[in-house]
Each structure stands twice: as structure tokens, then as C-alpha cells.
Chains A and B, each alone.
Chain A
Amino acid sequence: GNSVTQMEGPVTLSEEAFLTINCTYTATGYPSLFWYVQYPGEGLQLLLKATKADDKGSNKGFEATYRKETTSFHLEKGSVQVSDSAVYFCALSDGTGGFKTIFGAGTRLFVKA
């Protein structure tokens, strides 16, 4: 079945450091891929998405590229801020826009000033 695996946290970085959070997936067909972010005390919210191979999703300085050959969707940001401290979830939904979204376990990011 479909699944998502992301790197375990927590990830601790200093402000302005480069961020990579790895995500790989297993899926049949052509899923859409997502990164959601959860700030403390809040629900998840969509950060970015990509719907087909080689697409790059981007938002708020974060980027991720849909790599079908490596079944990956790694999240990157060139310079993190303290306000980026949150939990990041990689997710996929199947290619038919099906009813379920499969979420990874989440990676907690701490950014120090």
C-alpha cells in the first residue's frame, strides 16, 4: 500500500542555517505530494504541494521537488528563522485524487536564535 517515510527528528538548527528534511514515498500510480506544517497549538496547514514528476512546490522560502526516479520529495529552505520552528509532515494522496491522504510521522524542527 501507499506509505510515506520521513526523517526522524527533532532537527535543531541555528537561525540562517540550511534546512533539509528527507521524505520518501511508496505508491502505485501517480500520487500528489505535500508538505504540511503544524505550528505549536495549531492544526496542520498546507505548506506546498506538487502534483506530477519534476514539479517543484514552493512557499515561504521552502521548496520541494517531486522526484519520481528516487521516489522522494525532500523539503529544503536556504535560511531558516526562529519562526519556522514547527512540525513538518510529508504526505501523499493517490493519483485519482482519492479520498485518503497518507501522512508521514512528522519531523519536529527547532530553530535557535
Chain B
Amino acid sequence: DAGVIQSPRHEVTEMGQEVTLRCKPISGHNSLFWYRQTMMRGLELLIYFNNNVPIDDSGMPEDRFSAKMPNASFSTLKIQPSEPRDSAVYFCASRPSNHRGGATDTQYFGPGTRLTVL
């Protein structure tokens, strides 16, 4: 398996521009998570989906951030408009279900997207 795939790996943009980060979870995993990592704040959970449905978006910093999961194999995290304080590494992670279809414990992380907003 290719693991969780994220694109782009690096993104440099200017303040005010729209940024879209993409994630392809591991096939068969039914939960998907978006995290943000910075030196100051560490690893923060932004939002997670279960079976393509957003379950908890309380970590999304503000209305400039939005996330979608149109199908089981694709998710996006969009920032519009972007600001310099959004500069961070954004990780996507997925998690498999157990044989009963419920959640399991271990998450599988992608390599991350390093976002720089100038």
C-alpha cells in the first residue's frame, strides 16, 4: 500500500491567496483527520471525518478554513484567504475500521504539506 498521500508537499503563497491541500487516505480506512503542526502550538487536530461525514470541526481556527471529503478516497483542506500565521506543516491521517465497522486506535499519517504564507 502507498500509505496516506498528500499533495503538494510544499506550498509557498502570498497573503490573501487561496490554498488547497489534498489528501488521499489509505484504501479501506473510514476515518480521516487533518492536523496542523507548528513549533509554538505543537500538533493540533483541526477536523476529523468518519465515513466521509465531518464529526468534529471544533479545532478549525476560523471561518477561513474549510474541509471536505466528497468520497472515501479524497479530502481537501482549504484556506481562503491565507495569512502568514497559517504557515505550518499540515498532516492528514487515516484510520481503519475494525471487523465490526467500528473505529480502531492507530492512525496512519501522511508526509505532510509544508505551507509558507508570505
A residues sitting closer than 8 Å to B (CB atoms) are: 32, 34, 41-46, 49, 51, 89, 93, 97-101, 103, 105-106
Whether B48 and A106, one on each chain, are in contact in the complex, defined by CB atoms closer than 8 angstroms, is: no
Q: Is residue B117 within 8 Å, beta carbon to beta carbon, of the partner chain? A: no
With a cutoff of 8 Å between Cβ atoms, the chain A residues found around residue B98 in the complex are 97
Main secondary structure on B side of the interface with A: strand
Q: Which of B42, B50, B98 has the most CB of A within 10 A?
A: B42
Q: Give 16 new A-B contacts, CB below 8 A, not counting A43-B112, A46-B107, A97-B102.
A: A43-B4, A43-B93, A43-B111, A44-B93, A44-B107, A44-B109, A46-B106, A46-B108, A49-B106, A51-B105, A89-B43, A93-B105, A99-B31, A100-B45, A103-B42, A105-B42
Inter-chain CA distance A41–B18, complex, in Å, is 24
Instruction: Report chain A residues within 8 Å CB of B25.
Output: none
Q: Mark B77-108, 1 if CB is under 8 A from A, else 0.
A: 00000000000000101000010001111111
The CA of A71 and the CA of B66, in the complex, are separated in Å by: 37
Give the residues in chain B near A44, CB-CB below 8 Å.
43, 91, 93, 107, 109
> Interface on B for A, CB 8 Å cutoff?
4, 31, 42-43, 45, 48, 50, 55-56, 91, 93, 98, 102-112
In angstroms, how far is the closest chain B Cβ from the Cβ of A90? 12
Whether the Cβ atoms of A100 and B48 lie closer than 8 Å is yes
Is A103 in contact with B43, judged by CB distance below 8 angstroms? yes
Complex A-B, nearest 9 residue pairs according to Cβ-Cβ distance, in ascending order: A43-B109, A44-B109, A32-B105, A105-B42, A97-B103, A93-B105, A103-B43, A43-B111, A46-B106
Of B103, B105, B108, B111, the most chain A CB neighbours within 10 A belong to B105
